[in-house]
Amino acid sequence: MENIYLLARTSKELINNLKERCLTIADLFRKGEVQEGNERLLFFLEDVNTLLEALPHISSTYPAISIEELNEKLTQVLEQMESNDYLFVADLLHYELQPLLDLWSGTINDG
């Protein structure tokens, strides 16, 4: 059980990092800095993939963490990226994904 809490703490650190990066990437897209936003989004998604590997292990201890909800939001982001609607991507990152990550961060206690 201690391993779950260690994984949860590590995941929380990653979640906190990701939620801050959501805002940075959203700001880049809003400023029209699409290339920089795309590059940072690629690294962001790689780190989200790392988080997705950990979530099944901690979601039983922290049931508020829903992989399906994250996948839905990421699907929306990718659909808007394909449409080149960077302002919508910025809004999704800022108003959908970042609050979800913030909720998850608050859910994982440091127990």
Share of the chain above pLDDT 70, in %: 96
How far apart CA 56 and CA 51 sit, in angstroms, is 10
What's the mean per-residue pLDDT of the chain? 93
Burial group, residue 6, by CB count within 10 angstroms (0-12, 13-18, 19+): exposed
Give pTM, 2 decimals: 0.90
- Please state the domain count of the chain: 1
Taking a C-beta distance cutoff of 8 angstroms, is the pair 15, 103 a contact?
A: no
The one-character DSSP state at 2 is H
pLDDT by residue (tens digit) across 46-77?
A: 999 999 999 988 888 888 888 899 999 999 99
Q: Which domain range does residue 81 map to? A: 2-107
